[in-house]
Amino acid sequence: MPAYEILDDRFSAMVLPNAPIELLGENFRWLEGPVWFGDHDMLLFSDLPNNRVMRWSESGIAIHRAPADFPNGHARDRQGRLIECSHAARCLRRIECDGRITILADRFEGKRLNSPNDVVVKSDNSIWFSDPPYGINTDYEGGKGMSELQANLYRLDKNGTLDIAAADFEGPNGLCFSPDEKRLYVVESGVQFAAAANRSIRVFDIAPDGKTLAVGRTFHTIEPGMADGIRADEAGNIWSSAADGVHCIDPSGHLLGKILVPTTVANIAFGGRDLSRLFICAGQKLYAIYTNVRGARLL
Ligand code: MG
């Protein structure tokens, strides 16, 4: 089976015809939350229903932290600390350099968050995250619980103030900024994950104040399956998880091509020395493939 599906000539220059999909690990339960640590040459990722954070490096795979309160999305902040979405703890939290855990947000206006799903850090130290109820719908993904808040997109200011960035979602999910941070892309995956009627990637222009979003519009709709985790490359193309692999979409919303993966993809992260290696969380397996693009870096 070819590793690529090229739908636009531009995609030919973005992939490497001699670079295979590599299987880095398997026999997990369901992978999510990949985040690259260049200073440690390692990838951390969530084995969500197994309630643990895993660590990959060229020397192998190990359990990084367990139990881990059913972790989902991850990011690093400007100081290099791990920012984590926790389903079971229903919070956004930070793992300090000494291993202590600091809750960054677990309530909005006195009501408990649902189950933070995915997170991204902006160059002004604000942290943006989605809060759909997927982690409290089942025990499998964290633990059944009552939803107290609608599924919002939040912005946590560097001073700790939590605000709703956008409230018109049924189920906000993966998110990423454009490389210039003038746009925010957010996946809408619907009320009931995997059975979503509404499953587009939306794009929001960010006002000059760096925090106010304009009304969102549909950027692209993934077929087959749906988008979950998304990442930008340094040219501003958006790479999205999909049922048949990873799709690459240009900034105007045009699908350029696909990296074909045998298992449904949930989330991805650019890593490696030049951020040109794409790590792919696909169900029970972790894959990677070298590309001819580089992931967007923090400004
Ligand atoms: Mg997600």
Which DSSP state fits 126? Answer: -
Q: What are phi and psi of 72, to 5 degrees?
A: -120, -110
- In the reported structure, the alpha carbon of residue 18 is separated from the centroid of ligand 1 by a whole-number distance in angstroms of 30
CA of 99 to the centre of ligand 1 (A): 24
Span from the CA of 173 to the centroid of ligand 1 (angstroms): 5
C-alpha 26 to ligand 1 mean position (Å): 20
Architecture of domain 4-290: 6 Propeller (2.120)
Ligand 1 centroid – CA 159 distance (Å): 26
Of 42, 232, 33, nearest to 142 by C-alpha is 33
CA of 189 from ligand 1 middle (Å) equals: 9
Q: Which of the four pLDDT bands, split at 50, 70 and 90, describes residue 182?
A: very high
**DSSP 8-state class, residue 113:** P
pTM: 0.96
Residue pLDDT, tens place only, 35-70? 999 999 999 999 999 999 999 999 999 999 999 999
Q: Summarize pLDDT for 211-225 with one digit per residue, the tens.
A: 999 989 999 999 999
pLDDT tens column, 108-153: 999 999 999 999 999 999 999 999 999 999 999 999 999 999 999 9
Ligand 1 centroid distance, CA of 70 (Å) = 13
Domain ranges in the chain are 4-290
> From the CA of 250, how far away is ligand 1's center (Å)?
21
pLDDT tens for residues 231-289? 999 999 999 999 999 999 999 999 999 999 999 999 999 999 999 999 999 999 999 99
